[in-house]
Every structure is written in C-alpha cells, then in structure tokens.
C-alpha cells in the first residue's frame, strides 16, 4: 500500500477481533486533506473500533495505514497526537476533577526544573486555547465535572481541534449539542487549514450539511464510499442495514381519562419556575428545549436526584416522598429514570450486559435462589427482547458493547423495573437508525399498555413522531404546551427560542 497525492490518511484491510467476536473484518477508508468525510453505520458496525484504531487506542490485528505518505501505526493516543491526529470521543475523555485548562493541556502540563507546574501559566494557556476555538465564555479555572454535558463536549472538541494538525476525528460531536453553529464554524476553519476531518454521526441531516463524502460500514466491513450528492437517505440506510428501513407509523394510543398518573404542581428551584403539568396512563408527554432551559433539573427532581424545593409531585394521587431513583421505583406505581449520560450515570462497567439489565430486580432473583451468571442471563432475556437486543450480547461486558447496544440494555433495564411512569432523557442520543426504531417501538408498547412517559429529546422529529402532547421549556418555565395536532418542528423551534409570535401558556 502506498500513499496517494492529496490524501492525508489511508487505511486498508483493517481487521480487529476480540476473542471469537470480529469487530472489524475488512475496513478501508481514505481521508483527503481539506475534506469532511462521514463514517456511517449501525451501532455495532465497527465504527468505534475503527475510530480507536485511527486514534491509537487499539492496535489492529491486520491491515495497514498511511499518514501523509508515511507508515502510521500509533500505539497510544499520545503517539497519534504526535502525528497530528486527534480525536474528540463520544464518551468524553476529560478528567472531571481537573480544571478546564488542565484538561485542554493534558498531558502537556510542563513542570519547571523544580518539578512545579505554574497554575497561572496553565490558566493563561488554557484561556488562550479556549479563545482560539470560540469558547471565551468558559472559565478555564472551572472544574470540568461541574459543567453541563454540552460544555464538556465542547471542551473535548476544542482539545482535539488544538492537536489536529493533519487529521481530526469527531465521534458523534453533536450528541449533546442542541445547536451546531459553533461546531460547524470550527470544522470549517479546520477544513480551510487543510485538515482531513472524519465525522461520525447518526444524524443524516447534519452529515449532509457538513460532509461531501461518506463511507458506510456494515458488520465490520466497508460497504461503499459514496458522494453524498449522489446517494439518497434510503440508499444510505439500505447500505447500513442491508435492507430498506421502513418508517413505523406514529403512535395512536388511547389515553385514559380520570386521575392522572403523575401530577406536578408549582415545582420551583434548581432553575425551575412554577412548573405544573399532568401525565395520564397511556400518554407520552414530550419535552423540548434548547440547552440549559431547566430540562435536566426537571428530570432529576422527578427522579429523586434533586430535592423538591417548592411545589409538589404526586403519583397516583399520593404526594411523592421518595429520595433517590431506587425509592422512586417503589413509590406507588413507580417511576423509572433513564439518565442523560449512559457512561457516567447508566452502565456499570466490569459487569455483563445481563447483570446491568437485571440490577433493579436482583434481590428478587436472589430470593428465588437464581443468582448467578447463567440465571441472570436468563432473567435478562425478556427485557432484551423488548428492545430488540440480540441475546448473544448479554454475556459480554457492557463496556465492550457498541453505544447502541449499551443504550438498549439501559432501556431494557428501565422497562424491567415494573414502574408505570418512565422518565427518558434523550433516550436515542448517539444511536443508529435501527436502534432508534427499536427504542421507539418499546416506548409505544409501554404507552399502549397503559404506561406513562415523560421524555426529552434533542431531536425534534422524535418529539413530533412520538408525543401526544409537548411542553416547551424556556428560561426554566413552561413557555407553551402543544396538543398532538399542534406539534410540528416550526412551532417547536419558535417556542424554544421564546419567539414573541407564540403566546406563552
């Protein structure tokens, strides 16, 4: 294999297996300097493995890579960075108890001859890097763990931008960003400098906006590299899954009248201001909002992770007194919470997918003398089937699964609690079209069986498709409530920005 003029990075015949599991079989990709190249495929197609190989996290079992005409075989993220290849990972690689400045400079915190690192120098350099990438508003001295997920994602991206002299890899960069203007501006600046950019996303609309060419992976193999101007969405879906993806019809559940399942009255505190709404059995209530409008505080308060400062929450007519998600699952008909960050708040690494799924009812399994790997796996069969998760993944350590299968496991666990109210925070963040359809179907079945769902999504088409009603949060308040017939993307966007043309509820 030899480098071709005009191409910054070429990978050919990459293969990687983990025991009997083949993650990549024959992956090829060629990135051109000054081009934004999309990498598409279902969760489990091999995208994450390819990213890890290009980033130096994982060594391939076979295949070759050429960077700027030279053999490229990094054995660590640092070796990749030394070759001017940098990655912003979907599962953020920031250190939460360090400052923003320390994170953007790691591991380049150069000590003096006496072994000391100057805090003022670190903060000054961190401020300079943030400013260079349009993030002047972020305090370089702030502890990263205290910042919202969206700001942490921007810091991860800024660090990659700073180190990407030749190749920039962006893995689901908008998964936690409700607005893309800043990111796309930074990508355009990098592209104009001649950086080759690999862009991984499940959001085809933004892929078409920022990319000109795409490589599709399926089952670890490169299926095709296509010009996005020549391929329709249906063409791409078919390459990704091997068949045409049929859009499921919107939900038509019967919503029960009478006593609501969940009633929230005058909820205030943690940035919330007089929030009141009800959810009935059989109803899916969507929540739409731009970043930091109170949606995290609302869900975390209802889940018991934040205390109720003012107002009240009632389940089945009884005032809620639970403290924490475990008590919430057992209170009245129960509330089950799917958190925003699967890596930090969701999965328990080191345990199998089966164990992660059955955690809510492990005591019941133990009482029945069923505790053990084989029986945990058997107990996880039904929850896995409910989200169309292949049973063979139940025996895998959950951190070794794709993001989509991790999310299926968490969704299966949320449903398996037996709670009749679900709080789903961005349940399809960073997953492929097939996994989205599986999660949509599970939500529909749950609501059709009389369950109640409150869900936030950063993707407006999901809210339009799934919601019976929708609340729009703006400035910590409910700015507008939309009925089923009123929900459309234009109305939602107007309300999300507090548009004067849309009257507040």
Question: Which residues fall within 8 angstroms of residue 124, CB to CB, at 6 or more apart?
Answer: none
Residue 215 token pair: 């490589």
H or E segment to which residue 65 belongs: strand 62-67
DSSP string, 338-407: E-S-IIIII--TTSBHHHHHHGGGHHHHHHTT--SHHHHHHHTHHHHHHTT--GGGGGSBGGGS-HHHHH
Q: Which residues contact 402 (CB under 8 A, 6 or more apart)?
A: 43, 44, 45, 48
Region at 324 (left for phi over 0; alpha for psi -120 to 50; beta for the rest): left
Q: What is the pLDDT along the chain (505 residues), one digit of tens a residue?
A: 444 445 689 999 999 988 777 889 999 999 999 999 999 987 778 898 999 999 999 999 999 999 999 999 999 999 999 999 999 988 788 999 999 999 999 876 655 555 556 888 899 999 999 999 999 999 999 999 999 888 999 999 999 999 999 999 999 898 778 788 999 999 999 999 999 999 998 888 889 999 999 999 988 899 999 999 999 888 888 888 776 555 444 555 567 667 899 999 999 999 999 999 999 999 999 999 988 899 999 999 999 999 999 999 999 999 998 888 889 988 888 999 999 877 778 888 888 999 999 887 776 655 554 445 567 778 899 999 999 998 988 989 998 888 888 999 999 999 999 999 999 999 988 787 778 888 999 999 999 999 999 999 988 889 999 999 999 999 999 999 999 999 988 889 888 877 744 444 4
- Tokens read off for 433: 């079209």
Residue 493 half-sphere exposure toward CB, CA atoms < 13 A: 8
How far, in Å, CA of 154 to CA of 183, rounded? 8
In the chain, ranges of CATH 3.40.50.300 domains: 7-97+143-241, 256-334+420-505
Looking at domain 256-334+420-505, its CATH class is alpha beta
Pairing between β-strand 284-288 and β-strand 452-456 as defined by DSSP bridges: parallel
3-state secondary structure string across 152-166:
HHHHHHHHHHHHCCC
CB distance 469 to 288 below 8 Å = no
Residue 339's contacts (CB-CB under 8 Å, 6 or more residues apart) are: 345, 346, 425
* Domain 7-97+143-241 sits in CATH 3.90.1300.10: no
N- to C-terminal Cα distance for the chain?
64
Instruction: State both tokens at 288.
Output: 């739409």
Q: Which residues are CB-neighbours of 188 under 8 A, at least 6 positions away?
A: none
């Amino acid at each position: 294999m030899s480098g071709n003029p005009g191409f910054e990075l070429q990978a050919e015949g990459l293969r990687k297996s983990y025991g009997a599991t083949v993650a990549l079989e024959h992956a090829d990709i060629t990135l051109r300097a000054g081009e934004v190249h999309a990498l598409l495929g279902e969760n489990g197609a091999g995208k994450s493995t390819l990213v890890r190989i290009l980033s130096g996290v994982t060594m391939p079992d076979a295949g070759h890579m050429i960077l700027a005409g030279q053999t490229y075989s990094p054995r660590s993220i640092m070796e990749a960075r030394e070759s001017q290849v940098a990655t912003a990972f979907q599962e953020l690689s920031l250190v939460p108890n360090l400052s923003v400045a320390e994170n953007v400079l790691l591991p380049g915190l150069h000590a003096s001859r006496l072994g000391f690192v100057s805090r003022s120098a670190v903060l000054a350099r961190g401020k300079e890097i943030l400013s260079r990438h349009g993030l002047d508003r972020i305090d370089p001295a702030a502890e990263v763990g205290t910042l919202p997920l969206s700001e942490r994602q921007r810091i991860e991206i800024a660090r990659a931008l700073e180190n990407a002299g030749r190749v920039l890899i962006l893995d689901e960069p908008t998964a936690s960003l409700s607005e893309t203007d800043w990111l796309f501006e930074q990508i355009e600046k990098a592209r104009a400098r001649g950086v080759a950019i690999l862009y991984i996303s499940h959001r085809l609309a933004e892929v078409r906006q920022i990319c000109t060419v795409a490589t599709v992976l399926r089952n670890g193999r490169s299926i095709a590299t296509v010009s996005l101007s020549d391929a329709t969405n249906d063409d791409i879906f078919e390459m990704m899954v091997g068949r045409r993806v049929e859009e499921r019809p919107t939900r038509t559940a019967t919503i029960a009248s009478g006593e609501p399942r969940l009633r929230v009255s005058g909820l205030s505190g943690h940035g919330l201001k007089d929030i009141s709404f009800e959810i009935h059995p059989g109803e899916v209530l969507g929540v739409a909002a731009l970043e930091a409008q109170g949606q995290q505080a609302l869900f975390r308060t209802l889940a018991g992770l934040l205390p109720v400062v003012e107002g009240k929450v009632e389940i089945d007519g009884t005032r809620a007194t639970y403290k924490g998600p475990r008590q919430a699952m057992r209170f009245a008909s129960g509330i089950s919470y799917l958190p925003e960050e699967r890596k930090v708040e969701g999965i328990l690494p080191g345990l199998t997918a089966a164990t992660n799924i059955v955690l809510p009812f492990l005591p019941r399994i133990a009482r029945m003398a069923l505790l053990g790997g084989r029986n945990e796996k058997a107990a996880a069969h039904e929850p896995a089937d409910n989200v169309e998760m292949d049973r063979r993944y139940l025996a895998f350590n959950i951190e070794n699964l794709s993001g989509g299968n991790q999310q299926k496991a968490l969704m299966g666990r949320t449903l398996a609690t037996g709670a009749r109210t679900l709080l789903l925070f961005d349940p399809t963040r960073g997953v492929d079209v097939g996994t989205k359809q599986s999660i949509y179907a599970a939500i529909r079945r749950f609501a059709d069986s009389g369950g109640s769902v409150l869900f936030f999504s950063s993707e407006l088409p999901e809210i339009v498709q799934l919601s019976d009603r929708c609340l729009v949060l703006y400035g910590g308040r409910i700015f507008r409530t939309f009925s089923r017939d009123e929900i459309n993307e234009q109305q939602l966007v107007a309300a999300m920005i507090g548009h004067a043309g849309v009257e507040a509820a």
